[in-house]
Amino acid sequence: MSAAATVRALAERAKAASRTVAARPAASRAAALRAVPDLLLGARDALLSANAVDLADAREALAAGAMSRSTYQRLVLDDRRLDEMAAQLRAVAAQPEPLGRVLRRTLLDDGLELRQVSCPIGVVAAIFEARPDAVTQIAALALRSGNAVVLKPGREVRRTARALVDAMHGALAAHGAVPCDAVAMVDDRAAVDVLLSLDDLVDLVVPRGSNALVRDVMARSRIPVLGHAEGVCHLYLDAAAEPEMALALAVDAKVQYPAACNAVEVVLVHRDVADALIPPLVARLRANGVTVGGCRRTRALVPDVLPAAPADWRTEWGDLRLTVGVVDDVDDAIAHVNAHGSHHTDAIVTSDAAAAEAFLARVDSACVFHNASTRFADGYRFGLGAELGIGTGKLHARGPVGLEGLTTYKHVLAGSGQRVADYVGPDARAFRHAPLAPG
């Protein structure tokens, strides 16, 4: 069997499995998912050993300049992260049932009722780089929402991903309610081309990784793609910002995990507080190992800040690097964010309610925060259990994508023998189109 035929056969099994999973009761899907964390933790040694081999190769790539430090950091699986993965699995299992929800009811006429009902998408192809936790997050969300998933990890994480999928298969096989084919994996790079061509089997593609990966996937497939190309996040320190809060949030948003897509890349400071905030801000960032670049007005206050190039204002550093700029007012900050940001997550620090309201209403991003770190833009922190990824587009799902982002809906019409012919012509029967309470 050719490689293309092998991938197609795997996708066909995933499609069949998706219909089986969708038909399972909510309790069965949740129970199957609850069986996974204990087995995952029981396979701790095997998982960490597989990751150690991936890390050994990654260190060589890092030394050769073929891998960034942020990518290496994402690749690491240790006891803490494994425990976090187990907690996310349990959190997803405990989420409210996303299927069968009546979103809208309309009485078209007596005895003719239309319902809009949530249902699974089908088969999700997830293509990701250097993220062991992407395996469990995506698989858990897919199963809980009645979908199947085909995982394609990057070569740098393929051994870890295979060990995780094998552990999940063991748990699903032992439980018996969900077929193992609902969580499939391919590790051949050529399989990506095949997956992206299977628009008759794959219903959604989710790329998680670099800007280059996401844009490449978007350009190569006719299948709908959910993802974000960049995480160029901003923090705006307004004239009415409480100074200590402003400094603490800037450090948290950059330093807590700089490789994350919700880490801040640009800090904007109102001109009226620039002289009070920028010198201590630069000092705190440097104390945490951050390299700081800045605009002309920033460098007038701290001369040894690196001069910011035009591209720096729209760069996702993914590392301990940050750009600081001075703006005239909240309107200037909003214009800058909308022009240079990636519509991911942007935040304002201020005690001025009007400034906060303007920023939150007019910044065109999936997540907009007031007096909080951009690092809160995360499915687990949002209470979604885990996240499929971050959507920065305008359609379907936006921001951290949880279970609801893996559902669509169908229109269910229940009648009592009505004919369209009775509703046309000079003696046509009138529609009522009366809204009913969902339920």
Q: Could you please report the per-residue DSSP string of 198-265? A: -TTT--EEEEES-HHHHHHHHHH-SS-B---S---EEEEE-TT--HHHHHHHHHHHHHS-TTSTTSEE
Q: Determine contact, residues 268/339, Cβ cutoff 8 Å.
A: no
Share in percent of the chain as helix, strand, coil (round to 5): 45, 20, 35
- Residue 439's pLDDT is 73
Say whether pLDDT at 53 is over 90: yes
Q: Is the pLDDT of residue 71 over 70?
A: yes
Q: Largest Cα–Cα distance in the chain?
A: 83
Q: Give exposure, 99-119, as e/b (b: 16+ Cβ within 10 Å).
A: beeeeebbebbeebbbbebbb
Q: What CA–CA distance (Å, rounded) separates 388 from 390?
A: 7
Q: Is the pLDDT of residue 249 over 90?
A: yes
Mean pLDDT of 148-164: 96
SS3 assignment, position 420:
helix
Q: How many CB atoms lie within 10 A of CB 283?
A: 12
Q: Is 37 exposed, middle or buried (0-12, 13-18, 19+ CB in 10 A)?
A: buried
pLDDT per residue as tens digits for the range 11-43: 999 999 999 999 999 999 999 999 999 999 999
Q: Report percent pLDDT > 90 for the chain.
A: 83
Structure tokens at 55: 């890390």
Among 155-169, 176-190, 222-236, 339-353, the least confident range? 222-236
Q: Cβ(206)–Cβ(389) under 8 Å?
A: yes
Distance (Å, whole) CA 150 – CA 203 = 11
The pLDDT assigned to 211 comes to 73
Assign 123 to helix, strand or coil: strand
Partner residues linked to 367 by β-bridges: 345
How much is the average pLDDT of 324-345? Answer: 97
Contacts of 95 by beta carbon, 8 Å cutoff, 6+ apart: 144, 384, 385, 402, 403
Kindly indicate the confidence band of residue 129, based on its pLDDT and cuts at 50, 70 and 90. confident
Residue 176 tokens read as 């018996």
pLDDT of residue 2: 87
Structure tokens at 230: 């960049």
Alpha-carbon gap, residue 371 to 108, rounded angstroms: 47
Query: In this structure, what DSSP letter does residue 146 have?
Result: T
Alpha-carbon span 324 to 296, nearest angstrom: 10
Distance CA 237, CA 230 (A): 22
Q: Cα dihedral angle (70, 72, 75, 77), rounded to 10 degrees?
A: -110
User: Is it the case that residue 142 has pLDDT exceeding 70?
Assistant: yes
Q: Write the single-letter amino acid at 237.
A: L
Compute the average pLDDT of residues 203-209: 90
Token pair of 316, please?
A: 């996702």
For domain 3-98+121-226+401-408, which CATH number applies: 3.30.930.10, 3.40.1390.30, 3.40.605.10, 2.60.40.2300? 3.40.605.10
The reported pLDDT for the residue numbered 340 is 96
DSSP state, residue 328: S
Chain-wide mean pLDDT for the chain?
94
Q: What fold characterizes domain 233-376?
A: Aldehyde Dehydrogenase; Chain A, domain 2 (3.40.309)
**Mean local confidence (pLDDT), 211-228:** 85
pLDDT of residue 268 exceeding 80, the answer is yes
The whole-number pLDDT of residue 229 equals: 65
Extract the tokens encoding 63: 């030394």
Q: Where in the chain is the domain with CATH 3.40.309.10?
A: 233-376
Residue 70 has pLDDT above 90, yes or no: no
pLDDT score of 46: 96
Q: What number of other Cβ atoms are within 10 A of residue 167's Cβ?
A: 21
Q: Helices 44-63 and 79-93 sit at what angle, rounded to 10 degrees? A: 120
Weakest mean pLDDT among 80-84, 268-272, 276-280, 397-401: 397-401
Residues of the chain with CATH 3.40.605.10: 3-98+121-226+401-408
Token digits of residue 319: 């590392």
Q: DSSP strand E in 96-169: where?
A: 102-109, 112-120, 123-128, 148-153
48-84: burial string, b at 16+ Cβ within 10 Å, e else: bebbeebbeebeeebeeeebbebbbebbebeeeebee
Residue closest to 251 by CA, chosen among 290, 222, 306: 290
CB 339 within 8 A of CB 229: no
CA dist 82 and 41 (Å) reads 7
